[in-house]
A and B are shown apart, each in its own frame.
Chain A
Amino acid sequence: MSAELVLQIVLTVAAGLIGVGLFGALSQQSIVMVMMGLELVLGGVLVAGGAAWFFLAPELPDAQMLVVLALVVMAVEMAMGFAVTIAIYRTRQVDMVDMATDLRG
């Protein structure tokens, strides 16, 4: 099997994770479930970054740095997501995005 084919298979998996994650983040009402969708999108980025490193440019550390960055973004997203959820629940007992549409601005 050629390297290109394997790369394409791995990237398709990444695309699948991104697609499923997007669907979840857009369709779910609960803030926590929305965050799970975003995590899936970032999981796709992890896979794509790893594949880019191994199949395209293993001599450079840049793709590895991209994966590290995606992990950091996940951590920040989780921490801030939970903090915002707690803050909005504390002030108005809301845990669903549809109840906070007035924050749209």
Chain B
Amino acid sequence: MLTELSGGAIAAVAVLGVLAAAGGIAVFVVDSMARATFALLASFLAVAGMLLVLDLTYLAVITALMMTMEMAVMAVFMIMFMMNPAGLMPMTMVHNTRGSAAVGVGAFAVLVVGIWTVDWPTRDGEPPADPTRQLGEAIMGSHMLVMLVVGIGLFATILAGTVLATARGRYDRFGADLKASRPDDPVPGGLPR
């Protein structure tokens, strides 16, 4: 059976796959934290490119969009927490390298053996005319429950994240008796109140 993928598309998938893996490796090789973050972004953009070749336009573009924002925020945290963000003074911050490498290589080996020995089923059906519409209809129809749970999960994440990250509560902002007319915030914010 021949794929619908043209030769160019197969080549693109292969090149992007190599780029994705190379970017992933570069994350843990480079000294500069900024470079590590953007190596990870490069890896994700290659992943997005692979999804694009596989006809999943919406998921590809949303991956690129989300990962870019994540990495931009990640870069801020990197600079904030790392002792050596620019890698001007190389240092290693690793533990148990040998064991980790064994686990990583082991997982890869097990997966690869599985991938190349399993008798894969042949393709069931044809891709729809518009994969984006297929996903949208699944989210709003047959798989709505998944999205409902995801929504609740994300909402819980917003609340939990804010609670964990902030050290100030309403008593810090409005005083012990909560009677202050203006909140006492370190950053005044944009709205007049």
Residues on A facing B (Cβ under 8 Å): 1-4, 6-24, 26-33, 35-37, 39-40, 43, 46-47, 50-51, 53-62, 64-65, 67-69, 71-72, 74-76, 78-80, 82-87, 89-90, 95-96, 98
- Per-residue A-contact encoding for B72-91, CB less than 8 Å = 1, 0 else: 01100110011000000000
List of 4 A-B pairs having minimum Cβ-Cβ separation, nearest first: A23-B104, A59-B125, A19-B108, A61-B138
Q: How far is the CA of A96 from the CA of B92 in the complex (A)?
A: 13
Contact between B59 and A43, CB atoms less than 8 A apart = no
Check: B47 CB closer than 8 A to any chain A CB.
yes
Q: How far is the CA of A35 from the CA of B108 in the complex (A)?
A: 19
Give the interface size class of chain B: 35 or more
Q: Which of B113-139 contact A (CB under 8 A)?
A: 115-116, 120-128, 131, 134-135, 137-139
Contact between B17 and A61, CB atoms less than 8 A apart = no
Contact between A32 and B82, CB atoms less than 8 A apart = yes
Instruction: Classify the interface of chain A: helix, strand, loop or mixed.
Output: helix
Contact between B108 and A16, CB atoms less than 8 A apart = yes
Q: How far is the CA of A23 from the CA of B134 in the complex (A)?
A: 36
* A-side contacts of B157, CB under 8 Å: 75-76, 79-80
Residues on B facing A (Cβ under 8 Å): 1-3, 5, 7, 10, 13-14, 17-18, 20-21, 24-25, 27-28, 33, 36-37, 40, 43-44, 47, 50-51, 54-56, 59, 62-63, 66-67, 70, 73-74, 77-78, 81-82, 93-97, 99-101, 103-105, 107-108, 111-112, 115-116, 120-128, 131, 134-135, 137-139, 142-143, 146, 150, 153-154, 157-158, 160-165, 167
29 pairs from A and B in contact (CB 8 Å cutoff):
A6-B10, A7-B120, A8-B120, A9-B14, A9-B17, A13-B20, A13-B50, A15-B107, A15-B108, A16-B20, A16-B24, A19-B105, A21-B24, A21-B104, A24-B27, A28-B94, A32-B78, A36-B74, A37-B27, A39-B70, A47-B51, A58-B124, A58-B127, A65-B139, A76-B153, A80-B160, A83-B161, A83-B165, A96-B93
Q: How far is the CA of A7 from the CA of B54 in the complex (A)?
A: 11
13 further A-B contacts with Cβ under 8 Å, apart from A32-B74, A50-B50, are A3-B5, A8-B115, A16-B20, A23-B28, A36-B37, A37-B28, A50-B59, A54-B55, A55-B3, A60-B124, A76-B153, A82-B77, A86-B165
Which residue of B is nearest A21, CB measured?
B24
* A-side contacts of B139, CB under 8 Å: 65, 68
Contact between A6 and B5, CB atoms less than 8 A apart = yes
Q: Please tell me which one of the listed residues A23, A36, A84 contacts residue B40 in the complex, with CB atoms under 8 A apart.
A: A36
Contact between A58 and B1, CB atoms less than 8 A apart = no
* A-side contacts of B137, CB under 8 Å: 61
Which of B55, B111, B153 has the most chain A CB atoms closer than 10 A to its own CB? Answer: B111
